[in-house]
A and B are shown apart, each in its own frame.
Chain A
Amino acid sequence: MSKNQKPLSRRQLLLRLGAAGGSAAVYTAASAMGLMGGAFAAPSRRFALRKRSAGEAPVTVVIIGAGIGGLSAAYELTRAGYKVTILEASSRIGGRNLTARTGTSINELGNVNTCRFDNDPALYFNCGPARIPGHHTRLLGYCREFGIALENFVNNNPQAYVYSDQMNEGKPVRQREYLADAKGFMAEFAAKGISRQRLDAKLSKEDEEQLIGFIQSFGDLMSDMTYKGTSRAGYEQGGLLRPGVVKRSAETIDDLLQSPYWQYQMYFDEAESQAPSMLTPTGGMDNVVDAFVARVGQYVITDAQVTSFKVEPSGTEITYFQGANTKTIKADFCLNSMPGHLINGVDHNLPSEHASIVQKMVGTKLTKVGLQMKRRFWEDEMIYGGITWVDHPLTQIWYPSHNTFGDKGVLLGGYCFGPRENDTIANMSHSERLEEALKLGEAIHGPAYRDNFECGVSLSWQNFEHMLGCGSHFGTQDGEQDETTTHTLKEQLQKPVHGRYFMIGDQVSFHPGWQEGAIAISHQALHALETNLASGRL
């Protein structure tokens, strides 16, 4: 500690420890909000519009885009007696909720591939959303209402690996070893710091002992406050019939620092949206789409590509291109989930204060690779579900949470979300992407990875028909964005135009990339729509 820095007060210290410890900080935040508070609080009752009676004038709504945002809006509107039309540019319904199974065509522009998985309900690949955290109450509410069977989704598994060709001589390390050693080294540093200098005059002897105890337990240090390994990492040998010899992934912290794992993945599953336990529909995420289609599918017009729309204080008018025909439809209200960067290419009369914000949006880059394996060799490595993290543009390998000990399985062979790394993968052909995934996988799992590979699918959402992005965000081509600016701009876009036009979709939520974000925005728009209608000011 330099002379210029004030010693930490007890409160500051505990706060910082809380931040480092994670759970304490979460507890503080949770208490501050009230345990049931916050945006994700379970609603006391489901969202519902007031039902319109038969005597009331019909109210018409055109929804652009049949993704989860559009479908959930259509469902709520039709339940309440509104007249709804959904215009969907592509031939399929579901937006980014897309599950590939045998025969599924994945239409990247100029780069179509067809899924050749075996015809087996257990062999599927969720190309878009794949997991649902417990606090996504709106989506889970629909799952309950529609009777969609859910199963547990293993999002984090310390038995899976951390891999970097720069670390541990290019051999994979179990996450538990990495985590145990990383915490041990950190604790040792902290303990040394305390012994060198009393942190704060206000820190009593008792407090200091508590702190030492905390650090020792955090890192599983020896009584002399040094780190010599821990059983948390697992045993190199013994531990069952013979005394255990603990594993060490690294003798010093230097080796651990070679892997970028520490930068963010170490506490990946502490994030609210990634924490256990998570859920997923049994048989594929598109069960959610199917359930909506069973209820509102009759209102969807597919292959209807919107080419212009007008919003006036008196109503909205949407023109779309279908086959060789151009058609126009009028409606009292319009909900638009078209990606912002594509709205830019469409003729519209949005006021400049709204349009100029949309003009700042670009498509988000995200690529996924799915591989069908004829044998579940990862189970031989004691891995059942979870994610291996790799220092490579493909970033992750996921092991299926379902069908344990089944004959075959589909791995996620790559999940690339870095904007720059994405071009490397997205610009490859499908077969090149699969080859890249196999090369990576065999560095971690050995020859079994390639030997068991049967077929695969890949999808770069930035190339996908009628989307050209995994959503739309504010930023440059490289995906950089300024958070503060983004917040202001999104709040602006959430505001209706003339009380009749609402931009919807996860893109305008503060929880983009999640179905819950899209549903929450739709519910908010419908609430405003109903309020505007009741106000009599339209």
Chain B
Amino acid sequence: MKPSIQSSLHNITRTTATCCLRMLVGAVTAVFLTSSLAKSEEIEVTAANAKPSDPSIAFERRTFGSCLTCHGSGLKGNFATRAPALNQLPSWYVRRQLESFTADYRGKGDSDHYSVAMYRMANSLDPGTLDAAAFVESWHINDKPTMFETPGNLNTTDQSAFLTGKGLYDTKCADCHGARGEGNEHVSAPPLAALAPWYIEKQVDKFRSGLRGADEADIYGQIMSGAAADLSSEDMSALNAYLSAVIDKN
């Protein structure tokens, strides 16, 4: 199967600069070799990530197109719209969160505009005809996201925060979320390696302030609620330093 421009681009964001350059040159050569002024033409893309490819997914463009508006192309997340990456989250977790929004465990009573947006979106979906979790899963690119074993270059100040953060992670987070942020379905812990540090920090704040995990019926949220209560603001900034160094997300 011929690699598409889209898949090349997809990879660009996830590889090193050298690799990125090599691929770019390859793609450019393939596409633009023939003329200095490209002819306008439409190409049906049949590459693997021209998704969703599963015809069994009940597909409603107007609704699911909106997923991409906020969460970005390929659901890779967008800080500008405060939308987390969904493309590496396991479907059990996505499904559980959609249910949390519809059960009013998440988003209800939150003054955060972005939480309200997702709360409304989740509640406007008719689960009988629109399977949002299946749509999300169709864009899945990685079943086993993990944190980097070693961080990139850190200066001395970063190094100190990093080590404090690593210590906190190993003692307070790793039991549930995994030593390298791979997640654990049994305790409903999402793979943190799949989420951006800014998003993780924001969610911990919500757990701490009771905007998540406060409802006694929210059994999964209650676990994290207890864990978050144990983290101070200083802990969070150290954890953020650590996560920012080991997670491949902006």
Give A residues with C-beta under 8 Å from B: 57-60, 62, 83, 85, 89, 91, 107-112, 303, 305, 307-308, 310, 312, 314-317, 319, 321-332, 340-342, 344-349, 359, 361-363, 365, 423, 426-427, 462-463, 465-466, 468, 477, 538
Contacts and interface: CB of A to CB of B under 8 A. Distances in A.
Interface string B155-167: 0000000000000
Given A326-B50, A330-B40, A346-B73, A319 B124 contact: no
> How big is the B interface, by class?
35 or more
A89 B27 CA distance: 26
Contact of B121 (A109, A342, A344): A109
Nearest to B70: A468
Contacts of B51: 326
A127 B215 CA distance: 38
Nearest to A323: B61
The 4 closest A-B pairs by CB, nearest first: A345-B72, A110-B120, A315-B38, A345-B78
Contacts of B76: 345, 347
B45 A110 contact: no
B59 A314 contact: no
Contacts of B50: 325-326
Contacts, number: 180
Nearest to B65: A305
B153 interface: no
- Interface residues of B, dominant DSSP: helix
B174 interface: no
A307 B68 contact: yes
A468 B42 contact: no
B4 A328 contact: yes
Interface stretch (B29-37, B187-195, B230-238): B29-37
A59 B116 CA distance: 45
B1 interface: no
A83 B42 CA distance: 14
B234 to A, nearest CB: 23
A427 B6 CA distance: 35
Given A327-B45, A330-B40, A345 B10 contact: no
Interface in B70-90: 70-74, 76-83
Given A328-B4, A342-B69, A465-B66, A426 B38 contact: no
A344 B80 contact: yes
B16 interface: no
Contacts of B6: 307-308, 319, 326, 328, 347
B176 to A, nearest CB: 30
B32 A111 contact: no
A111 B124 contact: yes
Nearest to B41: A330
Interface of B: 4-6, 9-10, 12-13, 24, 27-28, 31-32, 35-45, 50-52, 55, 59, 61-62, 65-66, 68-74, 76-83, 111, 113, 116-117, 119-124
A332 B40 CA distance: 8
A426 B71 contact: no
B187 to A, nearest CB: 30
A325 B44 contact: yes
A58 B37 CA distance: 9
B14 to A, nearest CB: 11
Given A326-B6, A345-B78, A363-B81, A111 B113 contact: no
A111 B125 CA distance: 11
B9 A314 contact: no
A347 to B, nearest CB: 4
B37 A344 contact: no
A532 to B, nearest CB: 12
Contacts of B83: 345
Contact of B5 (A108, A305, A319): A319
B81 A341 contact: yes
Contacts of B116: 426-427
